[in-house]
Copies of this chain bind each other. A is one copy, B any other.
Amino acid sequence: MTQDTETRPKTAPPDFDLDGFLPYRLTVAADRLSAGLARRYREEFGLSVAEWRVLVHLVDSGSVSVRDIGQKVSLEKSKASRAASRLEADGLIEKGINAQDRRLLVLSLTDEGRALMAQLLPLAIAYQDRLEQLVGERLDALNEAIDIILKEDP
């Protein structure tokens, strides 16, 4: 008897390798990547990831509602709302009211916010460049794979 079937009854779980499990791998990789950046945002600029995302969106898109932001940069509306409030308290953005639809907010960068982003974005761009260097020839496949995941939403 090479197998002790007494100790492996019909409830024996199948083999499974967590280290090869894609949702786990992606989560760990994303956490690693975000951790370094998030620490820099926080230590050097006092920003959370949510606040940074809101700011990034406001750089291109002049005036936006909280909901627009949530959709565009993948933030819960409560998270987006609280991030916006903190940013306003810090003087980085301004909140106005949309005259056409007074339920909507109109968020926009202050000069101070714009100046901060002029400091921040080059860091992010350099980080992205470094990452693309590291990933090398696999970059296209990586981006395609991510697009597939985002599109299919399995």
Chain A interface (Cβ < 8 Å from any Cβ of B): 10-16, 18, 20-34, 36-37, 53, 56-57, 59-60, 73-74, 111, 114-115, 117-118, 120-122, 124-125, 127-128, 130-132, 134-135, 137-139, 141-146, 148-150, 152-154
Q: A11-B114, A16-B59 are in contact. Are A28 and B150 (CB under 8 A)?
A: yes
Chain A at the B interface: SS class = helix
This chain's copy number in the assembly: 2
B22 near A131 with CB under 8 A, answer yes
Please name all residues of chain B whose beta carbon is closer than 8 Å to the beta carbon of A18 when the two chains form the complex: 53, 56-57, 73
B14 near A149 with CB under 8 A, answer no
The residue of chain B having its C-beta at the shortest distance from the C-beta of A142 within the complex is B145
Q: How far is the CB of A42 from chain B (nearest CB, A)?
A: 14
Q: How far is the CB of A14 from chain B (nearest CB, A)?
A: 5
Q: A16-B56, A28-B74, A121-B16 are in contact. Are A23 and B37 (CB under 8 A)?
A: yes
Q: How far is the CB of A125 from chain B (nearest CB, A)?
A: 6
Can you add 10 more A-B contacts, CB < 8 Å, to A12-B118, A16-B59? A13-B114, A16-B56, A16-B121, A18-B57, A24-B73, A25-B150, A134-B149, A135-B145, A135-B149, A141-B145
